[in-house]
Structure 1
Amino acid sequence: MNLIICYTPLQVKIAESIVKKYSGEKFLGVFLGSEKNDKINFYFDKMSSFCERTIYIDISVETNKLGYLFSLINFPKNYLPISFFEKVFFANVNSLWIQKILSNIIFEELYTFDDGLGNVIKNPPILVEKWLVRKIISCVIRNSYSVKKLLEINKKHFTIYPKYKNIISNVETLNIFSDRNLSDLPSVPKDEISILIGQPIFSDEDRNVSLINKVFSVFNIDYYYPHPRECYHVSNIRYIYSKMIFEDYISELLLYKSKIIVYTFFSSVALNIANFDGVEVRIIKLSVSESCDDINNAYRLFEELGIDTYSEIEI
């Protein structure tokens, strides 16, 4: 039996491709989730379809530091139905939850896969460990692993970004969107469609709504694909609601659209779909009056990765 651990719907999509590569071998799937919604439920069900058995572990307690620590301390050693695995696969090498799970089991081989942009940027957060604090916590929760140790024993890394240098060596490329099935698509009578990917950039909801309205007006965009964390609604624009992650949705939409223009501010989705045939990614650079390091760093990253800005808009 093999073990594969996921945190996000995109990781489930990657996990599905990995399981296909090891057809004939059985997998136990573990999903570590901090919330449950239609999208999470959809991908947990998908995980159940290609794994022999699946387990959902609620880690919402992470928002409370003390509760988080106690949960890790009290995490049962026999929580998983078996304690020996031939192969283990996961993305988040810096996750204490994953390190705790690994400390409770025995395994022969360890493999990793991408956790989004964090795998192709310089000096990513996933490789940073506050050594003293981390060492103390690891002792308290009886964690036998660190990022460094996991990378040392890692046999292979699966990537969805073949054109970019990965922070982990010995990589193998996965094409996770090669299989397409028609479902959950909008009915539009033209060959070309444009979509804006939603991002709740500001804490002020009115400011987010104003930005979206301005972008739709300037670029004459057809549809809006909202972000799961959005709590606001923009009137007079057409929404796309789907249980699928955007990458899956676009992959299926390409079945009958000759061209899809995707507008985004600085979503990591841009990198995931940049190589799709028939997709044009247009980065809208935000020019803000106040200092926003997160926004500036995001655009700097896209420049480093060779993704050009399509246009700039003042807000």
Structure 2
Amino acid sequence: MKKDLFFCFTPLQVLIAKSIMLSDDYEGGQPECYVFALSDSKRYQHYYQLIEPLCAKAEFVTSLPSFPFYLTWLRKRFASSNYRHIYISSIDSVYVQFVLSWVGFDEVRTFDDGTANILESSKYYRDEPGVGPKLKSLIWSAFGNRYSKHRIINKSSVHYTLYPDFKNLIENLKPVSLNFSGVDSGCEKKKDRVLVFVGTVLKDVIQSTGDQSLLIERIRAYYLDQSKYDAVYLPHPRDEFDYFPEIPKRESTLIAEEVIFEFLNEYEEIELVGFGSSTQFNLMAQPSVRNVVLDSHLLKPRMRQLIQMLAGSGAGHVMLD
């Protein structure tokens, strides 16, 4: 029997892939899985160790040589292979595109890369402008790449999504739920509610660099200082500066979704606050999580689009201006 092949590039993608493998209708047996990690961090290692036992073959990849030398690495592992289904999330990955160009397979199946699949201003909905990206594409084509993100979209027979109620970049949707561990539903709760503020990379979401300190002060004045509940700050993995030293900061090898879920061992309800982050979207269906999105004209239009999408799905909406 031909095996399935999974490619993962983020801890969230690993969790989605794991959920697909453990679903009742998955018939791929023990697949192959490659986790391309941005760093050899404890967080990435933790999620790789979660998925490795489910696979016949798995590899944790922390670095590859630059182009064109990584082609030798890819050919050594994949050339002339034949798979049943190939599961992909990062449809713009040139590694994935080269592998698809060289192997045999029955179907391509895709799954969400966070909110990039449902946000029409994301990189998946637009082509990069300029001569540079086009030149890269031509060079990759000369070395044997026959795929692009558009061809993968058209090739996908099934798309697994965390957000079945939103329009997706890819059709033929199939809902999938994340499998969280570490919560004892029978334990006695000690407190009513905790406010969990999910951080973001502030420099990437504000319209002007000078707006950062103003936004932080507005968050304090119009929201955090008004809260009557215990509060915890979860910094973004790419921006771990402590913007709010007055409240405890939680650090963990787990992704935010699982850290937040663990609070349900202690609290009856979680008030999840953020700027329309993928974490808020991923937990919007959890009955004990109340989503609140913060909004401001200081934020870029892309962020405000996410905020409006989440607010339109029932989240609380707080304007900071």
What is the CA-CA distance between 1:254 and the residue it aligns to? 2.9
Return the offset for 1:248: 2.1
1:254 aligned residue (264, 267, 282): 264
CA distance in 2: counterparts of 1:192 and 1:27, whole angstroms: 41
2: CA distance, partners of 1:57 / 1:88: 18
C-alpha distance after superposition, 1:106-131 (max 9, x if no partner): 22221111111111122642143458
- Quote the offset at 1:199 in angstroms: 1.7
Percentage identity across paired residues of the two chains: 22
Name the count of aligned residue pairs. Answer: 299
Q: Which residue is 2:307 aligned to?
A: 302
Q: Distance in 2 between matches of 1:283 and 1:309?
A: 6
Say whether the 8 Å CA contact 2:88–2:111 is kept in structure 1.
Answer: yes
Please tell me whether the aligned partners of residues 234 and 249 of structure 2 are also in contact (alpha carbons under 8 angstroms). Answer: yes
TM-score (norm 2): 0.81
CA distance in 1, matches of 2:182, 2:7: 25
Aligned mate of 1:85, from 74, 83, 86: 83
Q: What's the offset of the Cα at 1:80?
A: 4.5
Distance in structure 1 (CA, Å) of the matches to 2:164 and 2:86: 22
| Residue 127 of structure 2 corresponds to residue 122 of structure 1 | no
Q: Is the CA contact (8 Å cut-off) linking 2:183 and 2:261 kept in structure 1?
A: no
Whether the 8 Å CA contact 1:263–1:284 is kept in 2: the answer is yes
Matched residue, 1:189: 190
Q: CA deviation at 1:285?
A: 1.3
Any idea what the Cα deviations from partners look like across 1:33-53, whole Å, max 9, x if unmatched?
222222111111112132222
Q: How is 1:1-315 mapped onto 2 (pairs within 5 angstroms)?
A: 1-21=3-23, 22=26, 25-59=29-63, 67=66, 69-80=67-78, 83-122=81-120, 124-130=122-128, 132-133=134-135, 135-177=137-179, 180-182=181-183, 189-202=190-203, 207=213, 213-214=220-221, 215-220=223-228, 222-233=231-242, 234-288=244-298, 295-304=300-309, 306-307=312-313, 310-314=317-321
Give 1:304 shift.
4.1
Query: Residues 34 and 60 of structure 1 are in contact (CA less than 8 Å); yes or no, is this contact kept in structure 2?
Result: no
Which sits farther off after the overlay, 195-204 or 43-52? 195-204
The 8 Å contact of residues 78 and 104 in structure 1, kept in 2 or not, is answered as no
TM-score by length of 1: 0.82
The verdict on how the C-alpha distance between 1:128 and 1:138 changes in structure 2, with shifts beyond 3 A counting, is farther
Amino acid at match of 1:167: L
CA distance in 1, matches of 2:182, 2:27: 21
Task: Letter of the 2:201 partner, please give it.
Answer: P
In 2, the alpha carbon distance for the partners of 1:157 and 1:181 equals 28
Following superposition, the deviation at residue 138 of structure 1 comes to: 2.5
- Structure 1 residues 97 and 212: CA distance shift in structure 2, 3 A: farther
Distance 2:177 2:271 in 1: 21
